[in-house]
Chain A
Amino acid sequence: MEMVIFGILALAAVAAGVGVIAQRSAVRSALFLLVNFCSLAGLYILLNAQFVAIVQVIIYAGAIVVLFLFVVMLLGMERAEETPDLRRYQWIAGILLAVLLLAGIVWALIPGETETVAALTRTDNVREIGAALLTDFVIPFELASIVLLVAIIGAVVLAKKRLEG
């Protein structure tokens, strides 16, 4: 079972990686990157690193890919392609995906069917990471905040318009 899940996720990661470098349009590359990051998050869960998997989804899939998409759209370097108008089917796809999502969440929480709740109480991954971050690795942890602050200031200074005169 674990091997099958690994195979699916690995295949998705490699296929999405090829998609990132092979796509002509930067928007599509960014969306393939999203698939790549999400399959890696699944692999992290297989490797028993739940906290890193969640952070992967929030930081990489949530923040970094959105930042990429923002800049691609902001620059407007993409030529609009002629695509068939699929908006008529959009609400059907939306409802289907929403039902699927709800079913997935409910199925994960049914007692007896899966053991989500039991597994949550058993894992101490987050506790271990928290303890390590605030004891052995407290200096790198604090330095990361300085790196992020410098990056924020640098990004603002670099991207702002030059004032005339």
Chain B
Amino acid sequence: MVPASFYLILSAILFTLGAVGVLIRRNALVMLMSVEMMLNAVNLTLITYSRFLENIDGQIFVLIVMAVAAAEVAVGLAIVVSFVRHKDTTDVDEMDLLKW
């Protein structure tokens, strides 16, 4: 049996990769993908604890997180589409309408 800490370390690595992606990439689409990766890393943690604490609640939480993630992607991509209509780029550095 694989120890729980292995899964948790893997989850930490994936979460960090996602965070790095959000920080270093300027393409709005790739940033959204990195956010999805972070959500998935958290899901892995929840499932790991659900397994090792032998409690089903973690898996329920994962299902709710998935619903929220789907909603977030739909709205996020709609914002990207409407932004591209205005500026014709997916570069987040160009998103400065609220700056003054």
Contacts and interface: CB of A to CB of B under 8 A. Distances in A.
Interface of A: 2-3, 6, 10, 13-14, 17-18, 20-21, 23, 26, 29-30, 33, 36-37, 40, 43-44, 46-49, 51-52, 55-56, 59-60, 63-64, 67-68, 71-72, 74-75, 77, 125, 128-129, 132-133, 136-137, 140-141, 144, 147-148, 150-152, 154-156, 158-159, 161
Interface of B: 1-2, 6-7, 10, 13-14, 17-18, 20-21, 24-25, 27, 29-30, 32-34, 36-37, 40, 43-44, 47-48, 50-51, 56-57, 59-60, 62-64, 66-75, 77-82, 84-85, 89-90
Which residue among A36, A136, A156 has the maximum number of chain B CB atoms within 10 Å of its CB? A36
A140 B62 CA distance: 12
B80 A71 contact: yes
A60 B66 contact: yes
Given A26-B27, A26-B30, A60-B66, A52 B47 contact: yes
